[in-house]
Structures are given as structure tokens and as C-alpha cells.
Copies of this chain bind each other. A is one copy, B any other.
Amino acid sequence: MKIFNKVVIIGTGLIGGSIGLTLRKKHLAGVVFGLSFHQKNVKLAKKIGAIDVIGKDLNVVQDADLVILAAPVDSIIDIASKIKGKLKKDCILIDVGSTKEKIVSELSLKFSNFIGCHPLAGSEKRGVANLGGDIFNDSVCIITPIKSTNQKALNKIKLFWTKLGAKVVMISPKEHDQALAHTSHLPHAIAFTLINAISDKFLSLSSNSLRDTTRISGSNVLLWSQIFLTNRDNLLSAIFSFRKQFAALELALKNRDKKLLTKIIKNANKKRERLG
């Protein structure tokens, strides 16, 4: 079932490319155009069937029904300002950035049919080479409408993500940035720190526990320094929560308090089970 006729994806990395691949596999779009600042990426996206056509320049958005901003967080607002005035009246614009407050407040002012989205389907393996058509299956996509959000466009975008395979959750941009500071940005901050805290001489004696805990410490430096700075205040709150809990564990250990250690680990076991 076709939802949109012409779709333009700006940024054909892991997320942008996977959207294209899934749209095409499921015949959800008439034609998918792809653009990237990296010619190699967009050519590869074309080769593996993630897009139908390589867009030459941003004017390609002019007769689009859906434009997807899938570039890094810092570039989204910049690219949006470059396509302002080019979109046809009923064209829907979405982004897939990892932080939402700033992007949604700025782009909602500039575009009447803008919907902020964040599919929780990323990976430390970026780029079109790692994309797969099924990364949205059983994933969660957060949509962050605000008061002024166009209801018709919102419904269409809900349908869009559902058809891609994701379960849609709707919360405000503010709630999004608070939640993700804890469930995504904090784990990244911790993974970067943990691997940096291990001396080189110990690295060869690593087991799966270190490997799993630090898998995401291989994540892209440009993307993550941007996310951290964009969501600075919420991340600082999350860091504070972690530090408080960590101090409790450290004190229990210092005091050889087996009862408290047991309580901390049992609580972690229970919470982890809830995470699934």
C-alpha cells in the first residue's frame, strides 16, 4: 500500500538508508530519492536498492510528498533552512534526530507540516554499509508532536512508521529529551568512560562483560559530541542520578556491607528483567 508518492531522504546513512530500503521493499512509496553530502554513501545506497534515484541537489524536494531529514543532529536545522520555501503546500517534513526539543521548536515555526520523530533503531555501526531493511521491525519510534502540530500530517506519519514495522509512542519533545538522556545518552557517556578507564595492559584479559558493556563506545564521535551538547542539561541530570547510585555501591563495598550490596544487585536484576 503506497502511503506517499515521492519521498526524498536527505542523509542516506544507517537510519535514512534503512527507511529507503524498507519503503521500497514494502512498496510504501512511489519513488524514493536519496541525497547525501557523501557521494560514496548515496551511490552505495542506490546500488543496494535503498533508493530509486540519486538526487542532484536540494531542489529535488520541490514536488516531494514526504521529506526525511536523516542527517546528523547538528545539520538538521541547517538543511531545513535551505529547503524552506521549496516544499509544496501539503508536503510533510520529518526528522529522525536523537534529540528533539530544539529541532521541534525551530522547525515547527518554519514548516506547517513538520513532525519530529526518533526511531530507536540506531547502532554503533553507522553508515549505509550496515543498513538492513528490517531494523524497524519490533522497534519503537518516538513521535514528538506539540500543540501546533498538524493533526492530519501526524496521523499520516504514525501510519508511516507503523507500516515500516515500528511501534509508535507519542510524547512531548521535552519528555523525549529527558527520557533519552537516561536510556541512551547516559549509557553512551558511561561506555566511553569505562573503556577509557581500562589500562591497555588489561585489555587482553577482557571477557564478554567488558565487550558488551562497551560495545557502543565505538559510536561516532561527531554524532555523539553533538547529541551530548544538544541535550547537555538532561544528560547532566542523568549523570547525577548515576553518580548517586554509584556512590552508594562504592560505600557498601568500602564498608564490606554484604546486605546492602545484595540489595543493590537484586534491585538491578529485577529492573533488568523488566527491560527485557
Contacts and interface: CB of A to CB of B under 8 A. Distances in A.
Interface of A: 120-123, 140, 142, 169, 171, 176, 178-180, 182-184, 186-219, 221, 224-225, 228-229, 232, 235-236, 238-239, 241-246, 249-250, 253-254, 256, 258, 261-262, 264-269, 271-275
Given A200-B274, A213-B191, A236-B254, A265 B206 contact: no
Copies of this protein in the complex: 2
10 closest cross-chain pairs (CB), A and B: A120-B207, A192-B268, A187-B213, A221-B265, A197-B242, A217-B268, A179-B205, A197-B241, A218-B272, A183-B206
Contacts of A122: 207-209
Nearest to A121: B207
Given A246-B193, A256-B229, A209 B235 contact: no
Contacts of A228: 253, 261
A203 to B, nearest CB: 6
Contact of A236 (B169, B215, B253, B269): B253
Nearest to A236: B253
A218 B183 contact: no
Contact of A216 (B192, B209, B218, B238): B209
A120 B243 CA distance: 29
B213 A275 contact: no
Contacts of A180: 205
Contact of A183 (B188, B196, B203): B203
A209 B232 contact: no
B268 A196 contact: yes
Contacts of A197: 182, 186, 238, 241-242, 244-245
B169 A266 contact: no
Which of A169, A214, A262 has most chain B Cβ within 10 Å? A214
Contacts of A219: 265, 269
Contacts of A267: 196
A195 to B, nearest CB: 5
B273 A250 contact: no
B205 A120 contact: yes
